[in-house]
Structure 1
């Protein structure tokens, strides 16, 4: 657990660093180098002359290591007579604009809220993109927000990079791949949460894991209509989902009525209207609904008879995060009730977010479901981490619970949306998830410093 200390600047032309009185360190081995991100600077390091429990940084040192003047608190740790002045976390994204008030477009507010937790953690987070890197001087033009507005500061390359690319298109760009590989190879900077999960690939990797396979509905890549016929016979209804879809877009629910021998397809059309169509054959359904779509880009997933509220299906969003000790924890949980006639529970389809106390007045039932969701989320987080490449620090799960209270994982998202935090009872969980997203950067930084051999992937 790192301790955070207030920062005070003082005028001096020498590089001087005052250690807080409460910072534990062997007095015989005081550091002589100060490190911020990838920048190292020799400095006179000594206890604060007034015995105060604050960090003192001379103006010369602050300038040399490019410490932003408005950083008012830092966490400290030492290794090999070097003191690490905070953890510099670069939040990498795309979609920058020329507007000062919203430099990252509509996502500016999200990043502003993410940066707002910096003082409580003693980290220095900033947002940047590929065009903001000065390779020659080892500096980045970082976007900061200290509460009064967006500012750009030149800072060293970070200790760790938190990947917040907005979509799959941006992460497939060759320039991004080259940039990431260079920062990892030349500077040893670990990236966490790289890449969007591919639905089918994830299920295929997990289905042989004995600890979690019972949470997985049958899921396969579309091959022929015979597969759908067989699954409809087994499960009564199925879902067709785009392999790389998001926000519930493109999902179709197909149901077979044994009594009337008819097929029903529920989906949201291009005009954002919920549709329910009836067909006398699966082939006619396919030729009508998917005539301009390539079904090879879809997966077929087993339908589950979900718990309902007033006849509307419920699914559950559960967020997990890794903390600064590197341990998984459940950081947020909510139910989502489907909108009228909707195939999904997403807000843009009329879905409503509810906390578990609203959905399950009976405390015993609520505890059973909550406990099951927590256990499933933690087991699956560990399994995903073990079966996928890269450092994974957060996951957003979409779970279903059937009439027998069995838990099913529909999807796992490496860059989960935050729509559930619109609920007033989830405000503190909103804050917790933002803190943990950066806390994992602290863990990776310490691992890189103390156990570099374990960080080779």
Structure 2
């Protein structure tokens, strides 16, 4: 069963937990748990009509329960009442500054943790140095009314992976923490790992239902393979297999009238968009990709996208699993490429637009949203099926071509949030934050009732 109550602490009793009369418990209770700490307790009914859970002070101290005045969910299983969930948000890059514990990312995490009252959970931030392995506790960073506070709590029920980049993810310390917490505590760890573009594409090829959304994508093997794709599609994109934020993306165009090759890309030395012309593909690759390891690149079919003010448009679509473990579309935004830019990223001059700014015609808007939502849910389910680990959120870069077909350009396991700076997308910002933590309620429930389903 699942319900939600305010928890209060009392000095008037010892070793006791008082339950509201309205709470129907179908089994005898002998233990109370918070995070991964479980102790014996005496369970009694409230003497009045208070709709709260009251625990004695000694119980609160033993289970290391912080009194933060947040209504929490109750989970009952095997004679145990668990209050929570306690969510550990794992990241790196901590600073010694109490007001800015994770530097420029502090505001993002403050906003993320601030939804705790809305969802009925206790989230906190931590890294490998905050763990006390000997005592099975963590000195977690909580964001509450008066700012950041370090509180010792148990190892959590669930861990949400928010490592900031691939470099931090590859560090041996981070890998060891994850392996130890999962092996010693069997904790559900969701959103582990950044996606590899080529790996995602190859796995999705196994799912017939979503093949229609996949542009041809190949690892770089030879110039002749690129020539063949240019002949088929007119232009291609060359991308780093493990890239992110639109970095390192090049558009290669073949002009059959001039018999010339053009390359559009971002020059980060001059912070400007470039368009260069070459007589041959070999000359283009030699000049533009000098010093780069070609075996770390992929080549993707070019799509003739919808345009606005003569600039290509793509769409960022966020999906999240909710407290019932179901996929939801939680945000859709349009992105218009900057003048001369190969991508729609804001740093390259791109602009974020709401859907109604992109489609002035209401019928076109409804049709586009319907197609994008249908594709995003189908792709989320397929990735969930094909990728190891527990996935709770995905950010998709999708395109609509001139015929109205949807195309997948990228799937991001840790999507950026720059679209939410748009004033019309604030509600989506809140919804994505709420659901990214609400999913932990489902994981906690599953972990208590049928852990084999989570780790099969």
Shorter chain as normaliser: what TM range?
Answer: over 0.9
How many angstroms apart in 2 are the aligned matches of 1:416 and 1:147?
28
Question: What do the CA deviations read for 1:70-126 (whole angstroms, capped 9, x no partner)?
Answer: 243211121122111110111111111101111011111111111111112111111
Aligned to 1:246: 244
Aligned to 2:3: 3
Aligned to 1:190: 188
Contact 1:21 1:54 in 2 (8 A): no
Where 1:211 maps in the other structure, the secondary structure is helix
Where 1:267 maps in the other structure, the secondary structure is strand
Matched, 1:218 2:223: no
Aligned to 2:416: 417
Q: Which is worse superposed, 247-256 or 264-273?
A: 264-273
TM-superposed deviation, 1:13: 5.9
TM-superposed deviation, 1:32: 2.1
Q: Which aligned pairs between 1:249-260 and structure 2 lie closer than 5 A?
A: 249-260=247-258
* Count of residue pairs the alignment pairs up: 455
Contact 1:4 1:121 in 2 (8 A): no
Aligned to 1:147: 145
TM-superposed deviation, 1:30: 4.1
How many angstroms apart in 2 are the aligned matches of 1:103 and 1:183?
23
Q: Which aligned pairs between 1:256-271 and structure 2 lie closer than 5 A?
A: 256-271=254-269
Matched, 1:273 2:272: yes
How many angstroms apart in 1 are the aligned matches of 2:436 and 2:312?
30
TM-superposed deviation, 1:452: 2.1
The counterpart of 1:67, out of the listed 56, 65, 68, is: 65
Point out where structure 2 has 5 or more consecutive residues left out of the alignment: none
Contact 1:8 1:72 in 2 (8 A): no
How many angstroms apart in 1 are the aligned matches of 2:275 and 2:123?
47
Aligned to 1:81: 79
Aligned to 2:167: 169
| Residues 423 and 2 (structure 1), Cα distance of their counterparts in 2 relative to 1, 3 Å cut | farther
Aligned to 2:303: 304
TM-score (norm 1): 0.97
Contact 1:225 1:283 in 2 (8 A): yes
Contact 2:70 2:116 in 1 (8 A): no
Question: What do the CA deviations read for 1:398-445 (whole angstroms, capped 9, x no partner)?
Answer: 001000000000000000011111111211111111111111111111
Aligned to 2:24: 24
Aligned to 1:204: 202
Q: Which is worse superposed, 194-203 or 115-124?
A: 115-124
Contact 1:17 1:43 in 2 (8 A): yes
TM-superposed deviation, 1:270: 2.1
Q: Which is worse superposed, 446-455 or 231-240?
A: 446-455
Point out where structure 1 has 5 or more consecutive residues left out of the alignment: none
Where 1:212 maps in the other structure, the secondary structure is helix
Q: Which is worse superposed, 209-218 or 54-63?
A: 54-63
Question: What do the CA deviations read for 1:315-355 (whole angstroms, capped 9, x no partner)?
Answer: 00000011111111111111001111111111111111111
TM-superposed deviation, 1:48: 1.9
Contact 1:338 1:346 in 2 (8 A): yes
Aligned Cα RMSD in Å? 1.3
Structure 1 residue ranges, 4+ long, deviating more than 4 angstroms after superposition: none
Q: Which is worse superposed, 383-392 or 445-454?
A: 445-454
How many angstroms apart in 2 are the aligned matches of 1:278 and 1:452?
58
TM-superposed deviation, 1:186: 1.4
Aligned to 2:15: 15
TM-superposed deviation, 1:204: 0.5
Contact 1:321 1:394 in 2 (8 A): yes
Where 2:208 maps in the other structure, the secondary structure is coil
How many angstroms apart in 2 are the aligned matches of 1:228 and 1:22?
68
Aligned to 2:287: 288
